[in-house]
Amino acid sequence: MQSSLTMYSNSENLKLLSVNEMINQIKKAQWRKEPYKFQNWANWLHRMSPYVGKIKPGMAHWLIKIASKEGETILDPFSGIGTIPLEADLQGRIGIGVDLNPYAYSISRAKFERASMEEHIKWLDSINMDISKVSLDKCSPFMKKFYHPDTLKEIILLRDLMIKEKKHFLLGCLLGIIHGHRPGHLSAVTSLVIPFNPKTKPEYKKVIPRLKAKIKRMYSDGFSTKTKSKAFHADARNLPLADGSVDLVISSPPYFDTLDYVNDNRLRLEFFGYDYNKKEKLKVDLIQNKEDYLEEMRKVGIELKRVIKNKGLCIFILGDLHRGKTRINTANEVMKIYEMLGFKTHGTVEDAMPTNKCIPSNYKRSKMDRIILMTNG
């Protein structure tokens, strides 16, 4: 059925697209083609710090391009490290990111702090790196095994100053080099994404020279120093936004019983003082029961209906879940609930997932994502 609803493509031609035309554009899956298919495509800010399960910048780029116009407000209520709001910002939209994970929020917040590179370097040059009074007593044995003691003390000294003086961009860059396998990372050799046991003995590594190199890379592609985009450390079930303030929602919500966001980000969460021994108290986002998951998504839907403008578009990317020989079509389950809330479904597009070496072997999702297009009324 042809929808009467229309949406703008990007502002290069301001051509009006019907939702059906938009669906046809999505079916072309431009993000699977060169150059967008490559993990390192897009602005360097997208590579500030890794995050398991994040949407690819190329996909975010194309969905924003065909579904919105400059100046519109785009919300991702499960924004992770801010890929969708950042890409919206880079395309002249107002990106809004919401996430409960303190590490994810910190990276999103960092991407919208737009001081000059020179200001960041000047601040670092002003720091007295005397670590003689820095204590490691609050660091877990797990954290200590990744670092030379003096490197860890330098990390803690800088972390505390950055938090105190609200140097969000610098904090994000520091998180990006906290662990990995390259010379620019501060840990013993381990995975860039998930902190598996280190493969080498920790050696002393000066933090500031590596941090300066990271900062310079972030400015390689350039970006506007002015932005209206924002990140919120908040709950998608209680959005800190006014009624009818959002033009478009694009989001890839967490899938129940799949990624363990605490375990996968353990070292970076401990960077913020989280106690892994209290892991169960932190695993609020890992819902293992379908009914519970759908109830929480229903609560999110109520909030989205409140903040999305009348006839505003909501695009969800959801993957199937395998339980033994049973496949659960998560997208279809969520769609039914949102239709009961008053959303109108205009179509679903299947999108085969690419192979990603960073996905753990126990990852329970299928290789199929489904892109749902709904409108608020």
* Residue that is last in its domain, among 218, 245, 264: 218
Cβ contact 45:108 at 8 Å:
no
Distance CA 92, CA 83 (A): 15
| Residue 332 CB contacts under 8 Å (≥ 6 apart), including other chains | 348, 370
238 and 359: one domain? yes
- How far apart are the C-alpha atoms of 290 and 110, rounded to whole Å? 34
Contacts for 153-161: CB closer than 8 Å, 24+ residues apart: 154/129, 154/206, 154/207, 154/208, 155/186, 155/207, 155/271, 157/127, 157/129, 157/131, 158/127, 158/207, 158/208, 158/211, 159/271, 161/127
Q: Are residues 140 and 276 in the same domain?
A: no
Domain identity same for 173 and 146: yes
Between CA 98 and CA 146 the distance in angstroms is 31
Asked if the structure places residue 99 within a domain, the reply is yes
- For residue 245, give the CATH number of its domain: 3.40.50.150
Instruction: Please give the Cα distance from 229 to 109 (Å, whole number).
Output: 9
Of residues 354, 194, 329, the one with CA closest to residue 266 = 194
* Residue 10 placed within a domain: yes
pLDDT score recorded for residue 175: 96
What pLDDT, on the 0 to 100 scale, is given for residue 284? 45
**pLDDT at residue number 367:** 60
Query: What is the structure's pLDDT at 3?
Result: 36
CB environment 213-249: b (16+ within 10 A), e (fewer) = ebbebbeeeebeeebebbbbbbbbeebebeeeebbbb
DSSP class of 46: G
Q: Strand, coil or helix: what is 3?
A: coil
pTM over 0.95, yes/no? no
Q: How far is CA 69 from CA 7, 13, 63, 141, in A?
A: 8, 10, 11, 50
The boundaries of the domain holding residue 331 are: 6-112+232-376
Residues 36 and 182 in one domain: no
- Per-residue pLDDT tens digits of the chain, which is 377 residues long: 333 343 333 334 334 578 888 888 888 888 888 888 776 678 999 999 998 878 989 999 999 999 999 999 999 999 999 999 999 999 999 999 999 889 999 999 999 998 999 999 999 999 999 999 999 999 999 999 999 999 999 999 999 999 999 999 999 999 999 999 999 999 999 998 888 889 999 999 999 999 999 999 999 988 888 899 999 999 999 999 999 999 999 999 986 666 677 778 889 988 988 776 665 544 444 456 788 889 999 999 999 999 999 999 999 999 887 666 777 888 999 999 999 999 999 999 987 655 443 444 444 445 678 999 999 99
Alpha carbon 256 to its chain centroid, in Å, reads 17
Residues 128 and 49 in one domain: no
pLDDT reported for residue 288 = 60
Query: What is the reported pLDDT for 257?
Result: 61
- Specify whether the CB–CB gap between 181 and 195 falls below 8 A: no
1 in a structural domain:
no
H/E element holding 153?
Answer: helix 149-164
Written as one letter, the residue type at 63 is L
Q: Are residues 192 and 78 in the same domain?
A: no
Contact 88, 74 (CB under 8 A): yes
- Amino acid present at 316: F
- 108 and 123 housed in the same domain: no
Domain check: are 244 and 301 in the same one? yes
Please tell me what DSSP assigns to residue 189. B
Q: Strand runs (DSSP E) across the chain, as ranges?
A: 6-8, 16-18, 73-76, 94-99, 230-233, 246-251, 308-323, 326-328, 343-352, 365-376
306 and 176 co-located in one domain: no
226 within domain boundaries: no
